[in-house]
Homo-oligomer: A and B are copies of this chain.
């Protein structure tokens, strides 16, 4: 033990059995930033109340100070997922802060208060955590704590390490082998980290009151990564030669009082595994945390995809690359080199340029030999940054700042990020390909501190977890709360109607037919009454014919034939007159009622219909393909036909305040307007909706009632009729209606699934 077995990683890495797993890894990011007001001044507010204030919030916490927001991604197995979460949690953070705050994009803080005490320590619930922060402020001063950065957590895929393990015979113990891998990578990372600092260092200068006196009076690549950053005293020395030495050195530092706790050891790489440092000895290293990453001002989230890809590749390269004989010396040299690079003028070439060039070439060759797929631009950009220091992050930030000031540049960037998050407030960045209701639900879950795992992205399948409580959700509101057969009932129009009828609710009378002949024989039943012909199971309006005043035999026959083209069963039923309302019922309560109005424009006496449509379509709520709360109005054949029927064309100019309908049907998907009328609908109709849903045994339901006149009591004969019950009702249309109040149904779903959230809030 303690002796480093020289294992030939170069040979192992090219082994055929290792090859399939080379890029398997797990990632996690913690990213700190400071909340500022819209002028770039440190926020004076508390952490947003809309975010669950638990100290153990999985995604959004406070760091040292109350105004330091820490964004924590879950562990992911791909970089795509990692950045999706990073984007999403940022969206939640932004919109939870409200419209008067934004996040400072730099590692270096904006102007600090003159008095150290004016930097407010995070108001955490745990007294111990507050005490620890107080002790830090004594040792290092609060202003140093205002440095922010990214911690990049990295774990090699287990299959990868397993394959490497199988490809060698020197080390017999798997855990030992794994630990050796991480130790080698860590030592090499510490030695070569100047390389990272050169490209991605991004803290060239400080704002007012950061340094007590002007201790650093030059512009550099990275204050944060240099000895002027947040570092332990020089006396703190820890060996990375073996896990035993690492652990015993650390505990010695604590014993000697050089560190108040092991977690106060601010190494650029932290070895991770288990809750306590001492666990490392028993369980080995499970992953490493790279802590020397400055916030990238030019990415939206403090770090960009290419950087993360670089880091992964760099770590693989460091595993491959030989290290120095003397471990401790090797690491120490790294500190020395890094300080040189960190303190270089950002626009000057680094003195390690030749070495850096070699390393880039080696990395590129390694990627080629191992047949690794990396972004095309990765090596191009590295080379460019090496040749032209003004292209490095520090170089770019400094160059930009010269035009105005670093503070102004940062404020400007912050505002862009802010704007991006607020532009389409219904979307969740990173997941905009998913259904809108699911995006909003995920937003709410993240805000409430519920862990969100995507089990199947195409299928909108989520796993939500709060402590030990797990709930699975598909499509936003298909949950464990509903029973299976009730959803099957709703899927079947005939069965739904039968059950509602048996419970005394009014449903359109009608018959179901399996053959055209059978349907034709029943013509007499419908010839003189208003009726609808529709396929039994389709949902998209196809094959539906409405006869508001009965029909002659020929038309009846046509309609039947049309419907049978869509389904093998066809319903012919009574047509109910009145207005259709969608009631959203959740756990025996109506949370929203929506009126849907067919696509329309309102004349102003000046503009053509075409122009009015264009105007209306400019609303950011309107888009296409259900990824916005409303759809753009089309001016296709159907709309033109509808206009023609009213004596209009697209270039007609309607009179002021005249409403021109462009569609017969009121679907949101064909440009219809959604109008929240929850507060306008009388309680007796809400009771009908609730009772009908209960009769079906359903907990989450969108039920459609036709009401002729809401002022007539619901128990009047034929006051209402129930048209349909939907087992996966759209939620976003209630949350972002065209007119009327927003009803945050997704949050109600979350609270229904996790009632403990409300209990803990009321505590």
Contact = CB atoms under 8 A, between A and B. Distances in A.
Given A472-B485, A480-B483, A494 B455 contact: yes
Contact of A485 (B19, B456, B479): B479
Interface string A20-44: 1100000000000000000000000
A569 interface: yes
A655 interface: no
A495 B525 contact: no
A521 B494 CA distance: 48
Interface in A556-586: 569
A480 B697 contact: yes
B495 A485 contact: no
A479 B484 contact: yes
Interface string A511-522: 000100000011
Given A20-B525, A495-B459, A485 B478 contact: yes
A482 interface: yes
Interface string A445-460: 0000000000110110
A524 B19 contact: yes
Contacts of A20: 522, 524-525
Given A455-B498, A456-B494, A481 B483 contact: yes
Contacts of A473: 485
Interface string A149-181: 000000000000000000000000000000000
A552 to B, nearest CB: 15
Contact of A492 (B373, B456, B485, B524): B456
A298 interface: no
A690 to B, nearest CB: 19
A514 B479 contact: no
Contacts of A461: 488-489, 492, 495
Nearest to A489: B472
A473 to B, nearest CB: 7
A241 to B, nearest CB: 35
A495 B456 contact: yes
B492 A484 contact: no
Contacts of A472: 485-486, 488-489, 495, 499, 697
Contacts of A697: 472, 480
Q: Which of A19, A472, A474, A525 has the most chain B CB within a 10 Å cutoff?
A: A472
Interface in A461-479: 461, 463, 471-474, 478-479
A61 interface: no
Interface string A189-209: 000000000000000000000
A482 B483 contact: yes
Given A474-B485, A479-B484, A514 B458 contact: yes
A435 to B, nearest CB: 14
A213 to B, nearest CB: 55
A487 interface: yes
A580 B487 CA distance: 32
Given A455-B495, A456-B494, A480 B474 contact: no
A474 B488 contact: yes
A463 B495 CA distance: 10
Nearest to A19: B524
Nearest to A482: B484
Nearest to A495: B455
Interface in A292-326: none
A10 to B, nearest CB: 20
A485 B464 CA distance: 13
Nearest to A483: B480
Contacts of A455: 492, 494-495, 498-499
A160 to B, nearest CB: 12
Contacts of A459: 492, 495
Q: Which of A373, A489, A697 has the most chain B CB within a 10 Å cutoff?
A: A489
A495 B484 CA distance: 18
A1 to B, nearest CB: 28
Interface string A66-82: 00000000000000000
A264 to B, nearest CB: 35
Contacts of A487: 484
25 contacts: A19-B524, A20-B522, A20-B524, A20-B525, A455-B494, A455-B499, A456-B494, A458-B569, A459-B492, A461-B492, A461-B495, A472-B486, A472-B697, A473-B485, A474-B485, A478-B484, A479-B483, A479-B485, A480-B485, A480-B486, A482-B483, A483-B483, A483-B484, A484-B484, A484-B487
Given A472-B485, A472-B486, A480-B483, 6 more contacts: A20-B522, A21-B525, A459-B492, A461-B492, A472-B499, A479-B485
- Which 4 pairs from chain A and chain B are nearest by CB? A20-B524, A482-B484, A480-B483, A20-B525
